Chain A
Amino acid sequence: GAGVSQTPSNKVTEKGKYVELRCDPISGHTALYWYRQSLGQGPEFLIYFQGTGAADDSGLPNDRFFAVRPEGSVSTLKIQRTERGDSAVYLCASSWTGTTGELFFGEGSRLTVL
């Protein structure tokens, strides 16, 4: 398909483990966003990439969270020493530019930390 692809769709892990979530944006989109969404809440901004660089990482909650986009396409969100409070749906979105135009969202990766 031509949409934003996120893997895995579901991830169950134990407290303290390391997790990686992958986002494959729409081809040619220069901007990539990560959000997380807890049950009953709106999506919460985490980080935004313009090309390979993080243009705004103000939403990352602490230093256990890190994201990379080394070639300006695929991005990986990395969570170290997971905690139960990290359980949420992690959403990725991409757009042609980071300033205007619509964001296209993936279906999300549901993370459950036991």
Chain B
Amino acid sequence: DAKTTQPNSMESNEEEPVHLPCNHSTISGTDYIHWYRQLPSQGPEYVIHGLTSNVNNRMASLAIAEDRKSSTLILHRATLRDAAVYYCILRANAGGTSYGKLTFGQGTILTVHP
């Protein structure tokens, strides 16, 4: 599976934007970039995913570099409820043994200060 690299931790203040980076220099042309987050004592929760173009949904925005070797998850206004571990994952979309499954790394622990 292609690997991703994320900072171990980041901090933010409430109501400020947060930019969570992810490097994936070995991404293949058919890999989608997925982001999940995990709140304390809960299972992971889907946030957003994309292939090449930037994506927006009600939770966040995903900015994907033109060469697709990196991406950034953007929380426009952090709240205390956004404190979680954020995982950037490459998901194979065609063929191969990793087809379908998500392979989680260590993620980024986001702390939000009031």
Contacts and interface: CB of A to CB of B under 8 A. Distances in A.
Contacts, number: 55
Interface stretch (A13-21, A43-51, A62-70, A73-81): A43-51
B26 interface: no
Given A31-B100, A102-B46, 10 more contacts: A33-B102, A41-B106, A42-B87, A50-B100, A58-B97, A93-B43, A99-B100, A100-B32, A103-B46, A107-B41
Band of interface residues on A: 20 to 34
Given A42-B106, A42-B107, A100-B93, A91 B44 contact: yes
B100 A43 contact: no
Interface string B27-55: 00000100010000111111001000000
Interface of B: 32, 36, 41-46, 49, 85, 87, 93, 97, 99-107
Contacts of A114: none
A34 to B, nearest CB: 10
